[in-house]
Amino acid sequence: MIDLSQQEQFDLDRLAEDLGTLPEAPLVMPVQTLESPITQSFLALFRSRLAPLTKTEQYKP
Amino acid sequence: MIPTYPPRSRVLVTRTVAVGTSIATAYGGFLLFLQFGTADGLDSFDILRSALICASTFWLAWGALTALAGLTTRPPAVPRQTEPITARTAILIPVYNEDPVTTFARIGAMEASLLATGFVHLFHFAILSDTRDDTIAARERMWFLRLIIETDGEGRIFYRRRDKNKGRKAGNIEDFIKRAGAAYDYAIILDADSLMEGETMVEMVRRMEAVPSLGLLQTLPTIIHARSRFGRTMQFACSFYSPIFARGLAMMQGNTGPFWGHNAIVRLQAFAESCGLPELSGKPPFGGHIMSHDYVEAALLARAGWTVRIDDDLGGSYEEAPENIIDHLKRDRRWCQGNLQHTRLLLAPKLKPWSRFIFLQGILAYIAPVFWLVFLTASIAAPLFAPPIDYFPIESWPFPVLPVSQVSKALGLAIGVVGLLFLPKILIVLDAALRGRVHGFGGTWQAVKSTLSELLFSSITAPIFMMFQTRSVIQVLRGTDGGWPAQTRGDSTLSFSEAWAASHWVMTTGMVVLVTTQWVAPALVLWLLPVALPMMLAPILIAWSSRPGSNRLFLTPTEINPAPVMVLQNAVITRWQMMAATQPEPLVDTRPTTPKSEPRLP
């Protein structure tokens, strides 16, 4: 045990990181399809906006 | 031989009866109100109000029938096994700005509880920190080391903190699976405030091993450690009513059960293959990360052919809950946004019909209060737009024809609505008295007193919840993202000024409603008092209910006889809190040999 006032001597973060490291054993987690094409096209209707004109296009004669 | 879930025929019968009866009740309510409303002639307000009554009655009837299903039927019992287990299980504890002393003390208690089972070597704990506050994160590292020292936990208890909390809790779990998932067969997913007996965790693994098609097994967590009046009411309701509702749900779900995000075990391979959540197109609240991810993960597992089951007989599963109405409503705001986001997923490809219905049910849970509020508003406004009464509807008939009063129909409907709300709880008391379950709640008289008090409290606070939930729905529909506020745990007594700041708008609305009703439709004032009065008292009720409650009311089995893991938790937490109080931070020895020489918990 050490005195709290002396904690700056020790790299506690490093120790916690070393002791806490998870096992390296990756598992693939593919992204699932959740939204139906019907829902997406319905929402697209709400989101559709006229393409904004650029400044040069705005001033075209 | 372990039965998996109720036979398909029984599930179908229970579902059909519950859905059919709910629809019939809703239709009855619709007709009754239409007759009442059209007594002075049909107008658009009558149709609107009748439709709202129809939807609201369906929701109430559905709740009542779930309880009735739980009282009258039950899934086949799962026999307890004693065989040794061999599978490796990770216990995941996502944390987010929590107090590390109390959170890690729970881990210490669960570790000690697992040690008693003899299978502790097969269980690893992974503390998955998404904490944003660097000071709290520093304390997490300190108390993690304390935990490692006291449990000899090196190589069995892990801690990692993410730089960014992408995907929030679901993303946190996903990150673990992608990094370390292949090292384990199962994962028990907990919340920071979850607590579970070691024997329960072992039993969950046994049940997973016994049924290879089981993808997720949900337990019914019981609320513990409530202190405030509000908290103790919720704790009692959860302990006394929830097992019955959960059983009813289990009878209707078949193999398409629920996932509540914690206190459940998942088969990691199945979960990884099926539950990678996409980010929805567009911005929050409807786009972005899926907030109520648990419902979606349950639906995805079922879509992939895995069984998702809730076993209501599994005891030893606990959680803590908000201690005051404001904290409860903060969490509720998040759930509201998450459930309404499910509107995007109702038509998701290849989902089981029951999963779609569960999404719909979750949405309706938050829309129903809006229906009630619109109904009340329409009822107040209706007299302004009602057509003048025609006292001479028959030509050439010289005498006036007075309209027949239909008030009895409205009264009948009101009694029916109150009945749907109260009857299930009253039946649950009767059932508990007959089966002897009341002993855990202080005996029959104590259980009756607690139930009546809970009925009174929930009736008084219902209008306040209605207002807050309606505001949440409006905020979500207007596109306001509620974010992911950290849950307040520990002492959460509210002063009157805090309660006032959070709810003065409810009080003002209540006063406006009552004054407007007196002016527009004085006959309705009496009918509206049960709604308007609690609204006007909202700040007082919120502050009062956050104060410590009496231990004589709302007794629960874990208060009378605390579970072994709770005793362990208390021992660890008392010691750690004293340690934290006497020293600003825990003492830590950095020498690698020291952990072995420290005493084990508790």
Mean per-residue pLDDT of chain B: 90
Domain boundaries, chain B: 89-220+255-331
User: Which one of A9, A15, A27 makes the best mutation probe of the B interface by having the most chain B beta carbons within 10 Å?
Assistant: A27
The whole-number pLDDT of residue B551 equals 84
Find the CB nearest A35 among B138, B280, B300.
B280
- Over residues B440-487, the pLDDT tens digits come to 999 999 999 999 999 999 999 999 999 999 999 999 999 887 665 555
- What residue in B sits closest to A47 (Cα-Cα)? B282
Q: Which long-range contacts (CB under 8 A, 24 or more apart) does B421-426 make?
A: B421/B60, B421/B64, B421/B459, B422/B455, B423/B64, B424/B63, B424/B64, B424/B67, B424/B68, B424/B241, B424/B244, B425/B67, B425/B241, B425/B451, B425/B454, B425/B455, B426/B451
DSSP 3-state assignment of B330?
helix
Cβ distance B273 to A30 less than 8 Å, yes or no, reads: yes
User: Cβ–Cβ of A29/B179 closer than 8 Å?
Assistant: no
Taking the Cβ of residue A51 and every Cβ of chain B, the question of whether any pair is shorter than 8 Å is answered with no
Residue A1 has pLDDT above 60, yes or no: no
Q: Is the pLDDT of residue A60 over 70?
A: no
**Residues of chain A with C-beta less than 8 angstroms from the C-beta of B162:** none
Shortest distance between the Cα of B349 and any Cα of chain A, in A, equals 6
Whole-number Å distance between alpha carbons of B259 and B294: 5
Q: Which of A7, A12, A19, A35 to mutate to test the interface with B (most CBs of B within 10 A)?
A: A19
| Amino acid in the structure at residue B73 | T
Return the residue of B nearest to A27 by Cα.
B178
pLDDT at A37: 78
Give A5-57 pLDDT, tens digit per residue.
455 556 778 888 889 999 999 999 999 999 887 777 776 666 555 444 444 44
Q: Are B199 and B316 in contact (CB under 8 A)?
A: yes
Q: Is A50 on the interface with B (CB under 8 A)?
A: no
The reported pLDDT for the residue numbered B410 is 78
CB contact under 8 A, A13 and B141: yes
Yes or no, beta carbons of B178 and A2 under 8 Å apart: no
Prediction ipTM score: 0.80
Taking only the tens place, the pLDDT of each residue in B183-231 is: 999 999 999 999 999 999 999 999 999 999 999 999 999 999 999 999 9
Q: Which residues of A touch B583 (CB under 8 A)?
A: 4
b/e code B118-145 from CB counts within 10 Å (16+ = b): ebbebbbbbbbbbbeeeebbbbbbbbbb
Task: Report the residue of chain A nearest B160, measured CA to CA.
Answer: A20
Residue numbers in chain B where pLDDT is lower than 70: 1-5, 40, 386-393, 400-406, 482-491, 583-602
Those of residues 238-277 in B touching chain A at CB distance below 8 A are 268-269, 272-277
**What would the pLDDT profile of B326-352 be if each residue is shown by its tens digit?**
999 999 999 999 999 999 999 999 999
Question: Nearest residue of A to residue B588 by CA position?
Answer: A1
Which superfamily is assigned to B89-220+255-331 in CATH?
A: Spore Coat Polysaccharide Biosynthesis Protein SpsA; Chain A (3.90.550.10)
